[in-house]
Amino acid sequence: MTGCGKYPDIFTAVKSTVKTCGRIMPDARAAAAYDKRYVVYRKLYPALKPIYADFDGLRNS
């Protein structure tokens, strides 16, 4: 919206359009569980990457 002149700069645009309603604090137990799963995901992704490309090809056909 700054490009079309509605706001003079990005800071004004954000201040005018983004509202916060609270803060969520991290849960250490949940973070530990996600960390373990992320390690597995990092191992899986390279193996699955070609399959993702196959699925993408199906979507575009």
* Residue 2: other Cβ atoms inside 10 A: 13
Looking at residue 21, what is its pLDDT?
92
* Residue 13: other Cβ atoms inside 10 A: 15
Are residues 2 and 13 in contact, defined by beta-carbon separation less than 8 angstroms?
yes
Looking at residue 4, what is its pLDDT?
86
Delimit the domains of the chain by residue range: 26-61
pLDDT tens, position by position, for the chain (61 residues)? Answer: 678 889 999 999 999 999 989 999 999 999 999 999 999 999 999 999 899 888 888 887 7
CA 45 remoteness from chain centre: 17
Each as own residue / partner, the long-range contacts of residues 28-33 (CB below 8 Å, 24 or more positions apart, any chain) are: none
H or E, element range at 54 = helix 28-59
